[in-house]
């Protein structure tokens, strides 16, 4: 059985991209990364892709200042590269609804909290952990979910928790949550690639056979 073709959208560091690459290299995911798209020209993740010989592309305001032309170009490359699954791995732009509609339940996002807590507009990257620490919750974590038309509201695929200790710092919490992210994002992709995710409305179940 030939595997799925994945497009990974990034904006920066690309550690989740690395986790996906490692998982594919270990033979855990039945698929390959066909394309990496970054909305930031200088994203470290672009270099990671290039080193691995993965096709990569900057698609942002610098080369496509017109939003609608940018969306059309994105749709075109996704088509050209025969993409089955889009993975938002630290992608800080909102995916336009035209793309969401065409790839319904075929776009996954990793978010650094237990959605619906600390999610939605304005909650991204380390700002999420700052809010977690300010609020004083004792448990946080990470979520992989499908992307719908709103921010962080789509069907949840996997969540995993981490404890917030009394002497937690922004650095220690970010590190702990990132470790969890690097586990659950490849896990979710693996399940998708094996056709083991059953979506009923906003409920996602796993086929256990």
Known catalytic residue at 111: yes
CA distance 16 to 35: 15
> Is residue 15 near ligand GAR by the rule CB under 6 A?
yes
- Point out which span in 20-28, 67-75, 104-112, 154-162 binds ligand GAR (CB under 6 A): 104-112
Q: Which member of 4, 8, 9, 16 binds ligand GAR (CB under 6 A)?
A: 16
Site string for ligand GAR, 122-161 (x = CB under 6 A): --xx------------------------------------
Q: Which member of 78, 110, 132, 157 binds ligand GAR (CB under 6 A)?
A: 110
Give residues with Cβ within 8 angstroms of 51, minimum separation 6.
Answer: none
> Is residue 120 near ligand GAR by the rule CB under 6 A?
no
Q: Which member of 112, 141, 154, 186 binds ligand GAR (CB under 6 A)?
A: 112
Give the strand order in the sheet containing 156-163.
56-58, 31-38, 4-10, 85-88, 107-111, 139-146, 156-163
Are 204 and 197 a contacting pair, CB within 8 Å? yes
- C-beta closer to ligand GAR: residue 131 or 194: 131
Q: How far is the CB of 90 from ligand GAR (least distance, A)?
A: 3
Q: How far is the CB of 134 from ligand GAR (least distance, A)?
A: 17
In 3D, which of 84, 87, 70 has the Cα closest to residue 186?
A: 87
CA distance 56 to 120: 28
> Is residue 13 near ligand GAR by the rule CB under 6 A?
yes
Q: How far is the CB of 3 from ligand GAR (least distance, A)?
A: 22
Helix (H) / strand (E) element for 178: namely helix 170-193
Give residues with Cβ within 8 angstroms of 106, minimum separation 6.
Answer: 84, 85, 86, 146
Q: Which of 111, 129, 145, 182 is catalytic?
A: 111
CA distance 28 to 190: 7
Q: Footprint of ligand GAR on this chain (CB under 6 A)?
A: 10, 12-16, 89-90, 110-112, 124-125, 178, 181
């Amino acid at each position: 059985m030939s595997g799925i073709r994945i497009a990974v959208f990034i904006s920066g560091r690309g550690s989740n991209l690395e986790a996906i690459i490692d998982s594919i290299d270990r033979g855990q995911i039945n698929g390959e990364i066909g394309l990496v798209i970054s909305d930031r020209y200088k994203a470290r993740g672009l270099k990671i892709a290039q080193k691995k010989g993965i096709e990569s592309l900057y698609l942002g305001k610098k080369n496509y200042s017109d939003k609608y032309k940018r969306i059309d170009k994105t749709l075109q490359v996704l088509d050209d590269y025969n993409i089955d699954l889009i993975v938002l791995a630290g992608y800080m732009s909102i995916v336009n609804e035209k793309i969401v509609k065409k790839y319904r339940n075929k776009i996954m996002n990793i978010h650094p909290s237990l959605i619906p807590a600390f999610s939605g507009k304005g909650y991204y990257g380390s700002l999420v952990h700052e809010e977690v620490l300010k609020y004083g919750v004792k448990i946080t974590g990470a979520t992989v979910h499908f992307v719908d038309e709103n921010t962080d509201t789509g069907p949840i695929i996997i969540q995993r928790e981490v404890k917030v200790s009394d002497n937690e710092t922004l650095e220690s919490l970010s590190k702990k949550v990132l470790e969890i992210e690097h586990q659950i994002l490849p896990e979710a992709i693996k399940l998708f690639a094996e056709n083991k995710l059953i979506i009923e409305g906003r409920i996602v179940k796993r086929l256990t056979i």
